[in-house]
Amino acid sequence: MVNGKLSAGFKKGLEDVIAGESKICKVDGKRGRLYYRGYSIEDLSTNCTFEEVTYLLLEGKLPNRKELARFTKELSSMRNLPKYVVEILEEVAHRTTPMEALRTAVSSLAGGDKDVEGITTDYHLAQGKSMVAKFATIVAYYHRINNKMEIVKPDPSLGHAANFLYMVTGKRPSEIEAMAMDQDLVLHAEHSFNASTFAARITVSTLSDMYSAMTTGIGVLKGPLHGGASEAVMRQLQAIGSVEKVEPYVKDALSKHRRMMGIGHRVYKVYDPRARILKKTAERFSKATGDMKWYNIADKIERVMFREKKLYPNVDFFSSIIYNGLGLPLELDSPIFAISRVSGWSAHALEQYGDNRLIRPLDYYTGPIDLKFIPIDERK
């Protein structure tokens, strides 16, 4: 091992390794540019709803007005959960975190689908749409059950983002609130071969089913080095508590090799374009709610981390401030990432099914070999 990198010219964590071909998303880490199916994230996050972007990811093209209306209606018709899934949530909500409850509930959805093992694109596309629709309901229901509140059934007259806020808070959101939520879902929807997406592709590459692939995605996204960072950011802001305490907190963290959550990225070596957009929304939102505290602390962390480590915020860094402004509980921050990313996972699953080869890399073996076997009674 040389500096944590295996001497076979091998980089740990598949860093910079191209592991497959895809037409879904271009992440340009050097220039800080991001494209879904060729459209820039700036154009998409300014002009499109989450439903429109999900259609783009799944179908490979932007919908016309008629296609979008049909797709939006289809998604909203799939929001309700089978009774047995609600019962499972009632059983597990008080025992698990939201991400664990989401993982359990999504896995159980397979029980209600007689075509789980269906192998055509139509089956997989229908399953993907169903899960895009249902993830939001599962997370909202978890929250209401866990807080001993009556569940709020989906309102088909509301768009996906607005309906999620309604099911969580019980109040129909204002237009500004719905737009902020919608933009956040667009920005988290897809990001090429990130850990959870690649894991979902590996699942599909064995010809396993869509429910397994989405469950894999949730399990991988949960980690604090990935989607779990979203919740960890707000906890970090709360632990710091004031702008004055940022400098000593960050210096202490760096001295102890603790990571500042929401900062840094494996691919972006400049500002994450999503963070740039979310920062503006977080500032606008904080000004509108009159509470600049968290935004100012985050802004200071950003400056100190750039000065100390030349690192930039990533997509998770400002989202938690927006969720806080929307009245969403901190524990839902990471599940909201999953509510959005299920679109990207589904698109990649379809692409993998469509041109599949089992994903099975090699390892660089560094253990012993040809050891002399010792019968158990002769072992010390």
Per rule CB under 6 A, is residue 321 in the interface with ligand SDX?
no
Site track 72-111 with ligand SDX (rule: CB under 6 A), x = hit: ----------------------------------------
Tokens (6 digits) for 319: 């989202």
Q: Please name the amino acid found at residue 236.
A: Q
3-state secondary structure of 31: coil
- Residue 44 in the binding site for ligand SDX (CB under 6 A): no
Q: Could you tell me if 199 and 115 are in contact, meaning their C-beta atoms sit under 8 angstroms apart? A: no
Question: Which residue of the set 160, 191, 265, 348 is catalytic?
Answer: 265
262 is a contact residue toward ligand SDX (CB under 6 A): yes
Applying CB under 6 A, what is the total number of residues that bind ligand SDX? 21
Residue 314 sits in the site that holds ligand SDX (CB under 6 A): yes
- Catalytic, 28? Answer no
Q: How far is CA 20 from CA 195, 201, 352, 354, 356, in A?
A: 13, 10, 10, 13, 10
- The helix (run of H) or strand (run of E) holding residue 17 is none
Q: Which of 154, 173, 217, 264 is the binder for ligand SDX (CB under 6 A)?
A: 264
**Does 191 engage in binding with ligand SDX (CB under 6 A)?**
yes
Is 316 a residue of the active site?
yes
CB 200 within 8 A of CB 345: yes
Cross-sheet strand order for the sheet of 33-36? 25-28, 33-36, 39-40
Q: How far is CA 133 from the centre of its chain?
A: 15
Q: Give the residue carrying structure tokens 């296609």.
A: 67
- The nearest distance, CB 111 to ligand SDX, in angstroms, is 29
Which CB, 20 or 118, lies closer to ligand SDX?
20
User: Long-range contacts: 168-175, Cβ < 8 Å, 24+?
Assistant: 168/139, 168/140, 168/143, 168/144, 168/328, 168/332, 169/327, 169/328, 173/326
Distance of closest approach, residue 224 Cβ to ligand SDX, in angstroms: 6
Q: Which is nearer to ligand SDX, 151 or 267 (CB)?
A: 267
Residues in the chain: 380
Q: Taking a C-beta distance cutoff of 8 angstroms, is the pair 108, 88 a contact? A: yes
User: Which residue is nearest to ligand SDX, using beta carbons?
Assistant: 264
Active site residue 188: no
Query: Least CB distance from residue 236 to ligand SDX, whole Å?
Result: 10
The single residue among 78, 110, 243, 311 that binds ligand SDX, judged by CB under 6 A, is: 311
Q: Which of 326, 41, 10, 378 is nearest to 169 (CA)?
A: 326
Q: How far is the CB of 309 from ligand SDX (least distance, A)?
A: 5
Among 31-39, 155-163, 264-272, 295-303, the segment contacting ligand SDX (CB under 6 A): 264-272
334: contact with ligand SDX by CB under 6 A: no
Query: Does 316 participate in binding ligand SDX (rule CB under 6 A)?
Result: yes
Binding pattern to ligand SDX, positions 7-26, x when CB under 6 A?
------x-------------
Residues 246 and 307 sit within 8 Å (Cβ to Cβ): no
The yes or no reply on residue 260 touching ligand SDX (CB under 6 A) is yes
The C-alpha angle 205, 266, 366, rounded to 5 degrees, equals 65
- Of the two residues 64 and 255, which places its CB atom closer to ligand SDX in the complex? 255
Active-site residues: which are they? 226, 265, 316
Residues at the site binding ligand SDX, with contacts judged by CB under 6 A: 13, 191, 194, 225-227, 229, 259-267, 309, 311, 314-316
